[in-house]
Structure 1
């Protein structure tokens, strides 16, 4: 068994398609037909069933599929003290679609309270299920600190930032502390793997955006250093047996994407300097560019190649995936590489355009290739 296999294990990036029964229950809850406790019971059963299926699929680290969330990121932000749920007036603009218009905006100073933040209670349930069935370990996925910063300074949201944080260093410090406190709370409840999902770097990758005046100003603003400071500050001085991974995403909404481009523009920052254990990277299409930026991954950090897409149910050619793994190994040793799908199957509750059967077939193919390449 290789070091990579021992450290990473077979795991999915995070989210799964919401079962139809859960989708209907959420709609009924929103219309007032189900109480909060009614909905939670249904969520509990759906999550327990999912974890059993994850174990049967051979996954070594499992998640709750993000079944209690509407969004992969916003629900976590709304749990912080000083952050509120508002409607922005327009959604995020993806390549072909616009999302719903929810956002996170400041209502005060940011802090973390383990009693009021729902994700701690949510993790407790996952841990109780994994303890009960045995053979799998729970993984907690949360949006990266950099992602919260990007949301808070988005357009008109930034006016609230200026109101509560005239000094940006105070904002950075409070985000770092809130995240650090949250991570320690998850650790205290039993998680040993936390994944920071991060789309904030995507803006630096997209040549079409960077060619615009706004894009050039953004790229030249020094914000990469701010994002790196936020992430590294939040994960500083953590227990030695806690693994911190990151998933760098180009957007995943209803099988659509937000950004294209090679990792080259951020490699010197995020690959060389972010203090994580493992990078989960999207390499499922030509939009991601080549593997050359992997040469910038510093130290003994690992890379999980997201070579199978979650945006389509069509299965990739097995040999093509194996060939690409070996191509990537020209830039980073094979024993520091691993394989996964490129993203979750449902980063928002809408889900991607594929079936539940197809999502499990994708994972089956990933597992079989892992077993062959890293045998």
Structure 2
């Protein structure tokens, strides 16, 4: 038997690319050469790990995984929603300053560029509608209601997914890192409920066959070896998470102090037809997991999740924000190789025990 294994998204960018992106006046031609080289090298090294599914490492997502779609828009301001991390730093969302809300780019463009070099299936990570909904200012915008904003947002999100699927993405993964954060910001659960409802409005636009190729990723954040909501009990998130109309769920688990408790919650809430990819490597832990440790984590998960609904993944992306150099490319790919090899070890044991 085979247990599917997939990455999340980002890989640390080469230092020379990070430096070029941080320059006051970056040279466009130089940037394009560096982007292309980074994607080509990422695909090559990804495939060398034996990973059956890869990403482009989000090498071309300027600045971060969260705002790539709106970066460069002339109607946004940098002083939007603030995300505090346990390490003491913060990240800011842009704020929509005037109507209308429009994407500046869709992620199928990243996919097409990576497909030039890949010989194995490519998945494409995209940002969730609930994350981008935080761009709308609390005081509102003259002549542009929140309802109209959300309608435009859902149209853009649907377009992005359809373009990625049409371009041949193996899977489209919706990043929902704000799910656990929502519980932290609003312990009553109201904000989380609104996020789930909004994301389901988007997912409801797709057929069952299309939703089988759409997944949702949740984690407590991973930036400069720090998280934004790791202290929040998964029991306050997971029952709502599995209400989403998606085929796959990617759940950060490697850093959880009591994985059995989390696995029990997953078992209680997973629905038929849903597959859960449990995190078996931690991108913000500098120690490289052994394949034997990954094997044991998979075997533990298999005690609680049916084998035909189990998969493995990394807890998060390895560098979701462009300036995060806390993890090296070598470490990221070593962890990915451990995930692939450890999953195979567990599959061999579980296959022989049937």
TM-score, normalised to structure 1's length?
0.82
CA contact (8 A) 2:68 2:105 kept: no
User: Secondary structure of 1:357's match?
Assistant: helix
CA contact (8 A) 1:91 1:98 kept: no
| Aligned ranges 1:154-193 → 2 under 5 Å | 157-159=137-139, 161-166=140-145, 168-193=146-171
CA contact (8 A) 2:279 2:313 kept: yes
CA contact (8 A) 1:89 1:101 kept: yes
How far does residue 293 in structure 1 lie from its aligned partner after superposition? 1.4
**In structure 1, how many angstroms separate the alpha carbons of the residues matched to 2:93 and 2:182?**
23
CA contact (8 A) 1:10 1:60 kept: yes
The answer for the alignment partner of 1:142 in structure 2 is: 126
CA offsets 1:173-222 (integer angstroms, 9 cap, x no match): 332222111111222323241111112211355xxx4xxxxx5xx33363
CA contact (8 A) 2:295 2:343 kept: no
The answer for the alignment partner of 2:58 in structure 1 is: 66
| 1:235 maps onto 2:203 in alignment | yes
Alpha carbons of 1:39 and 1:302: their partners in 2 closer, same or farther (altered >3 Å)?
Answer: same
Root-mean-square deviation (CA, aligned residues, Å) is: 2.6
User: Secondary structure of 1:63's match?
Assistant: coil
**In structure 2, how many angstroms separate the alpha carbons of the residues matched to 1:275 and 1:294?**
16
Structure 2 unmatched runs, 5+: 349-354
How far does residue 287 in structure 1 lie from its aligned partner after superposition? 5.5
How far does residue 370 in structure 1 lie from its aligned partner after superposition? 1.0
CA offsets 1:235-273 (integer angstroms, 9 cap, x no match): 2343625610111021111111111233211222211x1
**In structure 2, how many angstroms separate the alpha carbons of the residues matched to 1:282 and 1:352?**
21
State how many pairs are aligned: 341
**In structure 2, how many angstroms separate the alpha carbons of the residues matched to 1:60 and 1:314?**
24
User: Secondary structure of 1:108's match?
Assistant: coil
Consecutive aligned runs of 4 or more in structure 1 exceeding 4 Å deviation: 317-320
CA offsets 1:84-103 (integer angstroms, 9 cap, x no match): 44221895210122135452
CA contact (8 A) 1:308 1:341 kept: yes
Structure 1 unmatched runs, 5+: 210-214
The answer for the alignment partner of 1:121 in structure 2 is: 109
Task: Choose between structure 1 and 2 for higher RCO, CA contacts under 8 A separated by at least 6 residues.
Answer: 2
User: Secondary structure of 1:64's match?
Assistant: coil
User: Secondary structure of 1:366's match?
Assistant: helix
TM-score, normalised to structure 2's length?
0.86
The answer for the alignment partner of 2:322 in structure 1 is: 349
| Farther-moved stretch of structure 1 (274-283 vs 326-335) | 326-335
**In structure 2, how many angstroms separate the alpha carbons of the residues matched to 1:288 and 1:201?**
20
CA contact (8 A) 1:142 1:195 kept: yes
The answer for the alignment partner of 2:173 in structure 1 is: 195
User: Secondary structure of 2:90's match?
Assistant: coil
Alpha carbons of 1:372 and 1:97: their partners in 2 closer, same or farther (altered >3 Å)?
Answer: same
The answer for the alignment partner of 2:351 in structure 1 is: none
Alpha carbons of 1:25 and 1:152: their partners in 2 closer, same or farther (altered >3 Å)?
Answer: closer
CA contact (8 A) 1:313 1:354 kept: yes
How far does residue 354 in structure 1 lie from its aligned partner after superposition? 2.8
**In structure 2, how many angstroms separate the alpha carbons of the residues matched to 1:180 and 1:244?**
12
